[in-house]
Structure 1
Amino acid sequence: MKKLCILLILFLATTTTKVQAQEQEIQQLLLNIGKLAQFKQILKDLKKGYEIIYKGYTTIKGISEGNFKLHQVFLDGLWQVSPEVKKYKRVKDIINYQFLLVKEYKLAYNRFRKDDNFTPEEINYLGSVYEQLFKQSLTHLDELTVVVTANKLRMSDEERLGAIDQIFSHMQDKLLFLREFNKSTTLLAIQRAHQRNNNQTLENLYGIAQ
């Protein structure tokens, strides 16, 4: 009887140990399943976050590339010259001013070179003034050509019109200066001729040399 009790006790102890072990395994399995579910959720969240980031990056990349293409189209357009710019009234005025400048300086220079009231040194000075004006007028024409020629400068129509206005102003200043210069030189020649005539009259009438 005593042995039977001992065997029963050992059986119960063994059974209890196995049950406890099984319970621990079940708990560990449940724990692992929970961790696996959490891990899957983490992976799912990471995937979702990546998709959001990728979508955002793709959108930004598309926008930036689109903006660059639009910007490139805009810049390429600045190489072109619109008909409105080419037909701008000031373009014709600039060319006409250059024509008048050359015409008027040549007429004046030829007249002054034949005038005895100027010395050779003074004639050379007049020639240098006219030469500088002529060279500057050619520079303005070159500038105008660049502004109204396609594929020369990247400028908007407004900028091209502003540049043409500035060239017109410079050319107008040159022509006004030339006319004032010719006028002053002509007055000087008249004054000298008048003085020479007076001196000659005094010498003829009274024998007085001035």
Structure 2
Amino acid sequence: MKKLLIVFVIILSSVVSCHGQSKQVKLYLKQIGLNEVLINYLKKAMAIAKFGLTTIGDIKNGEFSLRRIFFDKLKTVNPKIKNLAKVADIITLQVQIIKNYQSSYKQIKASRQFSNAEIRYIYSVFSKLLDDTGNNLDELYKVLAADQYQMTDDERIKRIDDLYVEMQSSYVFTQHFSKETLVMAMQRLKEGNEVKQTRDWYGIK
């Protein structure tokens, strides 16, 4: 699953890099069920992934070297920074967060166990989370592109480590928040069914 998510981001990035193919990007997004609300957040992940990939043909049979694809054109970064596995992990975590949001928020709304005010609050939590993780991806881009920040290699590695920790924390939070909210929906549904059964039993309308 982890590789598939990374492949998805990179394939989309190759489409973005081709002029005049915005319709094709939207088609890819629709095919995997992402709604328009997520496009801006996903583009941030794609903007990073597109660094080293020029054509979809660079990926064969789903097998690829993420580091090679990611850094082929980023020649100015020190190899010890280029080879950090945490860079790939940060991107993967962002995609997983987006997928979790899409799936959970859809289920939460479909449950019809929350008021409009509660739905707005839940959406605001997810929205803030996506904003924060999107900002982390922007920061990662700047750290990796040597012309953005005046930093030593050690400073760049330290910042990537920090971004990885922040993204991990965001991923854990979205998993916990989604699970707790869905559990609440199930509890409310169960309680509602029990009340209905009791009312039916006693003929109360």
User: Once the 2 structures are TM-superposed, how far is the Cα of residue 90 of structure 1 from its aligned partner?
Assistant: 0.5
Partner secondary structure for residue 167 of structure 1: helix
Q: Does 1:205 align with 2:169?
A: no
1:111 corresponds to which of 96, 107, 112: 107
- 1:66 corresponds to which residue? none
Which runs of structure 2 are paired with 1:1-40 in the superposition (5 Å)?
none
1:168 corresponds to which of 144, 164, 170: 164
The one-letter code of the counterpart of 2:152 is: S
Deviates more, 1:113-122 or 1:190-199: 113-122
Q: Does 1:147 align with 2:134?
A: no
In the TM superposition, what whole-angstrom CA distance separates every residue of 1:132-159 from its partner, at most 9, and x where no partner exists? 0111011000110111101222222221
User: Once the 2 structures are TM-superposed, how far is the Cα of residue 81 of structure 1 from its aligned partner?
Assistant: 2.1
- 2:191 corresponds to which residue? 195
In the TM superposition, what whole-angstrom CA distance separates every residue of 1:40-59 from its partner, at most 9, and x where no partner exists? xxxxxxxxxxxxxxxxxxxx
Please provide the CA RMSD for this pair. Answer: 1.3
Hey, what's the Cα distance between the residues in 1 that align with 2:124 and 2:86?
Answer: 28
The one-letter code of the counterpart of 1:203 is: R
Partner secondary structure for residue 114 of structure 1: helix
User: Once the 2 structures are TM-superposed, how far is the Cα of residue 83 of structure 1 from its aligned partner?
Assistant: 2.1
Give me the identity figure in percent: 33
Normalised by the length of structure 2, the TM-score is 0.61
Structure 1 or 2, whichever has the larger Rg, is: 1
Gaps of 5+ in 2: 1-75
1:95 corresponds to which of 87, 91, 94: 91
1:126 corresponds to which of 115, 122, 125: 122
Q: How many residues are matched?
A: 130
Normalised by the length of structure 1, the TM-score is 0.59
Hey, what's the Cα distance between the residues in 1 that align with 2:83 and 2:120?
Answer: 40
User: Once the 2 structures are TM-superposed, how far is the Cα of residue 116 of structure 1 from its aligned partner?
Assistant: 1.5
Higher helix share: 1
Hey, what's the Cα distance between the residues in 2 that align with 1:87 and 1:197?
Answer: 55
The one-letter code of the counterpart of 2:151 is: M
- 2:178 corresponds to which residue? 182
Hey, what's the Cα distance between the residues in 2 that align with 1:116 and 1:159?
Answer: 48
